[in-house]
Structure 1
């Protein structure tokens, strides 16, 4: 009759057999331990070689990558890490640069929109003011009969003109100061944009720090020229507006002087006729 060995008996027999082997307690001669150890070491060596290769490719980049290679990289499955990294850096640099220019254009457009709005408000103020001046002078002087006018009528008109000039000039100055304030705000925002994007552009490492600085400096110089031009324009605008407003009030005064002269001549004729 065949002897049947249970599973527990089999395990016990295996343990007894393994314990009887001379290398059981010595990992240096255990073939299973040696096999796993050698395989682990082989994998570690392979990983180290791969890492070293990547380090050489990534950190020993050439100074420049040919433009043709960059353009063909996306369709070339065999391109190496250096070319892929260079292409990625160029794309990132271009994206950031376009974003920077786009943000600057947006700030410039916002300034133009604000200028249009405050200019429209200023124009309404002066247009309404001109209507008010004309109506006032018509009421005081021009719609009255010559015989109803007196020297006091003209004195009141002159005083009215003297009183309206200062607030109108002040309105012009406020308008120009608002423009300057908007320009300063635009400059501050653009400076913040340069600070934010320049740090990110440097970190792309697409260009050397010196080359990146040159690109940024060119754009800064262009913006500085625009700022200086704007300041000259604002100064000239304020001077023209103040001069034009002063001339306008003087024009009203000149018309009033002419009308007063005609009034005197008319009154002299009337008085002369009464004497005759």
Structure 2
């Protein structure tokens, strides 16, 4: 089967988070699903040894000591060039927040009040069981009629996240909101630009060019040509060169046969036969003639 046939088959999505959506005393079980698939995960590669087909695992190395055990390492935060504050895994774990399992709606604001720089990853917020549909609808319609965005907090993976919840059709989309520390001040980049007005005649010509290129937004019109080219290359190489199989994970005929024999022996209470060498497959590969009746014995 072609490697990319799975892209058009129905997907079973795993929730990124499960808990309850709470608006005052109204609550219902919900689940968060990632609404987008980041492009950087579209095509990823592993390092393969072409002689064996095995995947190469990168081991940590110290510039002075060479290879070291990952279990002996600690996390370090660089405060200056070559200067680090080190912390242990236990210290990090102690900072993790306990989750109460709820997306707690705190307030409602106009969507225009949230600077677009603060909008981050979107999630689909859905009811998590049949009994949740009614309270979910109540919260959704209250938000729709209010015409505002709900701000809510939730603890995910030990970290507190803020979300902006907006109604979309029959559902709710939860957008993660960046913190103020994450957004760089625009003035640090734009204040250095020179003052002054643009030439009105040039602006008039630019506006005419803009009108010539007006049109609706069509997300399907934008394609990552690099990712598409990489996928096409992989599909073509699979078609013309086949697949590289790892020696470490590839089962041989003898292993499969011995496993079936062991299963049958387990049912009958007898001991499985001793492991056999894959001499038959070697003989077939070398072109040696088969013994008479070999097919009949194999079939039985």
Give the number of the structure whose residues are more often helix, by fraction. 1
TM-score with structure 2 length normalisation? Answer: 0.17
TM-score with structure 1 length normalisation? Answer: 0.18
Rg larger for = 1
Give the number of the structure whose residues are more often strand, by fraction. 2
Q: Structure with the greater relative contact order (CA < 8 A, sep ≥ 6): 1 or 2?
A: 1
